[in-house]
Structure 1
């Protein structure tokens, strides 16, 4: 019986096979498959290794411990990281609870800094001493510190971001202390390409002088400790936001919010395309003020998010319908949290409004995922 003939497969083909598996598989199944491919042979190892470490799934303590043992072997250990840190593109530590210490997180960030593009920090195990290695991750595009429990000063945050010129999306720590006291003018600058910002924390400074990113187009206010009327007035009255902001999300997870804070939005942010606000803070006067404004708003999508106070809206659906021709001519989609029920009349009015506009209906890049009518979300 003739012996089997070994067939050589070029590494380029193996890379294509691994790339398909990497895209099609998710979670633990993806990670287990890539790991097993690395065990097939030296050739498969070289083809699959970069995919295995590009975005590791770290959702359990033992997984995290094995990962850190590979990336940060203890001093005197015979094991070496062999440059594995440079393969990591996405590091998501959000599912870890008490699996890491501040020092280990800092060491880990230092090992993966070379090509890291996405970093999501854990609630525990991240502190001020992690900011120094984080500042060297100059290829970051997405940075999420919103889960961090330790208070961090605004000045320290800006110094950390100083050299992240590719950063597009940033979420601040929920307990950040915003204060400009003692800060130099050159220390108040954000990365030039930053477009999306989620802001939280204690706002000690007067927000009308807050140094917003120059090219900001999307803002989310979440976990703000004192989002009072005076604070909101300072935020909304900023000229840069009035010119640049296209998306605004105000989460229900803020302290101090009143209906009057929501009433201010149409007066200051006339260029908004997308607005998401807590449903219980919206009253009929919100739409009345829009109708009496001299300028028509650019707003295309409005969402009414969930609340902790009531399962009923404090405004009539007819108020929205009445603004379609006087104040909100561009509105084509309205979203409701499922706790509020369904509104067929509004859906019909929006579809009819879109048909009346015909070819004049323009779909912007900011809201392209929404069709004309109502939709519901959890």
Structure 2
């Protein structure tokens, strides 16, 4: 069908000498009909079926070559989210930034870019090139992922002018940024919904008692905390100046990853934000002692995050005292909070580098199956396990046992059992 639609929208070439083209022209002439012209709405509907991402880039490029009409309609979708990698980056820069000075030569294609993902770039370009790209695409840019290299302080000025951003990912940035610099960069991004901190070490202010608070975007919903969190904790969670906590009001998704974190900082943050959270992630925490200061241990997560729907946690942070009391060794060892909490999805990630718990304290799928039998976490429906990490050999049997019990729980609650059970995921590369 698409081939027919493409052929209908083409204007026959006057220089074509192929037999097929001549036969088609004769057939059209003999029938006395003009070539069918597709309305723009039909072409836009066709383009809407193309999936987002790299796979559609070649197809969209081919659509731009069909005719002027197809080019005018497909070019915006082609440049909305360009797939950038080593070989094509220089050509993209030359197209979007044909001159160093935008006043000398400007490209209208720069205004079409909505997503600028530079995460797959290694050492292509320079810091000046990154700043120039941000400057040219600022009017329409909504999603930005910064590169690991070729990012510097000069990029912050250009980034701060991208006021329409909805998602800002700085998690790959290796350049050290101060908390104040990051705050000044995002303070005008009123539409920002997702923010990921850089994982690099931060430049700290000389006077710890004159730290500036973060200018949080008013609509921020998802926050990933990485790198050095000293300033975040002492400026906004528990300010050293004795002021009130300054944290985003609409946060529902929170992640701690690639960071040094202790139990005091963790619990203080959850005490402020936990009641609003529906998603929490703990991954690749490089601290040497992740302590839980409360008697409930890891169940602090359940106590402070009563509305949590999804928990993603590294396997060596998933201790049995998330659900069970370590002080009771009988059939009544399930913690009261675990009997009522409505956690629905549990994602068990590969180990972090904490090494703070002994193996006997860690929870496995056999423990989870026992918890389901005791009606702990009554809303739990899926347990996703990252593959390629060390686990006890009996997990294969325990996985099957837990899988069946989760499906049985779904059937007992008149839910679709196909949506419940144990799943496996490829090891994430973050």
Deviation at 1:200, TM superposition (A): 0.3
How many angstroms apart in 1 are the aligned matches of 2:165 and 2:342? 32
In 2, the alpha carbon distance for the partners of 1:301 and 1:43 equals 47
Q: Shift of residue 181 of structure 1?
A: 4.9
Does structure 1 retain, via aligned residues, the 8 Å contact 2:222–2:254? Answer: yes
Aligned residue in 2 for 1:182: 210
- Identify the residue that residue 354 of structure 1 maps to in structure 2: 410
Aligned partner of 1:249 in structure 2 is 281
User: Does the aligned pair in 2 maintain the 1:53–1:88 contact within 8 Å?
Assistant: yes
Does residue 1:375 correspond to 2:423, yes or no? yes
Please name the residue that 2:351 is paired with. 307
2:304 is the alignment partner of 1:268: yes
CA contact (8 A) 1:198 1:220 kept: yes
Alpha-carbon deviation of 1:336?
1.9
- 1:166 Cα deviation (Å)? 1.7
Quote the residue 1:227 is aligned against: 261
Query: Cα distance, 1:159 vs. partner?
Result: 1.9
- Kept in 1, the 8 Å contact 2:84–2:117? The answer is yes
SS at match of 2:324: helix
Q: Which residue of 1 aligns with 2:9?
A: none
Contact 1:141 1:168 in 2 (8 A): yes
Structure 2 residue 298 is the aligned partner of structure 1 residue 298 = no
2-structure distance, mates of 1:40, 1:326: 61
Scaled by the length of structure 2, what TM-score is found?
Answer: 0.73
1:157-197 per-residue CA deviation (whole Å, 9 max, x = no partner) reads 2221122222211211111538675345xx53311211111
Equivalent in the alignment of 2:195: 170
| Equivalent residue number for residue 9 of structure 1 | 37
Shift of 1:275: 0.8
Deviation at 1:282? 2.6
- Structure 2 unaligned regions, length at least 5: 1-21, 239-244, 326-332
Cα pair distance change 1:14/1:69, threshold 3 Å: farther
1:199 is matched with which residue?
225
**Cα distance, 1:150–1:141 mapped onto 2, change above 3 Å:** same
CA offset digits 1:292-331 (Å, max 9, x no partner): 3457222112222112679x88335453344444652222
Alpha-carbon distance change, 181 to 116 in structure 1, aligned in 2, over 3 angstroms: farther
| Aligned-pair CA distance for 1:13 | 5.1
Shift of 1:237: 2.6
1:52-71, aligned counterparts within 5 Å? 52-61=78-87, 63-71=88-96
Structure 1 residues 76, 189: closer, same or farther in 2, change over 3 A? Answer: closer
Distance 2:419 2:291 in 1: 28
Question: 2:46 and 2:228 mapped to 1: Cα distance?
Answer: 46
Which of 292-301 and 76-85 deviates more? 76-85
SS at 2:419 equivalent: coil
CA separation of 1:346/1:44 partners in 2, compared to 1, >3 Å: closer, same or farther?
A: closer
Identify if the C-alpha distance between structure 1 residues 10 and 331 changes in structure 2 by more than 3 Å, giving closer, same or farther.
Answer: closer
Please report the TM-score for the alignment, with normalisation by the length of structure 1. 0.83
Q: 1:176 to 1:85 in 2, by over 3 A?
A: farther
Contact map agreement 1:37 1:45 (CA 8 A) in 2 = yes
Note the 1:313-328 alignment, pairs <5 A.
314-315=362-363, 317-324=365-372, 325=374, 327-328=376-377
Structure 1: 5+ residue stretches without partners:
364-369
Q: Aligned-pair distance for 1:222? A: 1.1
Alignment: residue pair count:
361
Q: Counterparts of 1:178 and 1:272 in 2: how far apart (Å)?
A: 33
Q: For each residue in 1:227-254, what CA deviation from the matched residue of structure 2 results, as whole angstroms up to 9, or x when unmatched?
A: 122322322332xx12101110101353
The CA RMSD measured in Å over matched residues stands at 3.3
Deviation at 1:40, TM superposition (A): 4.5
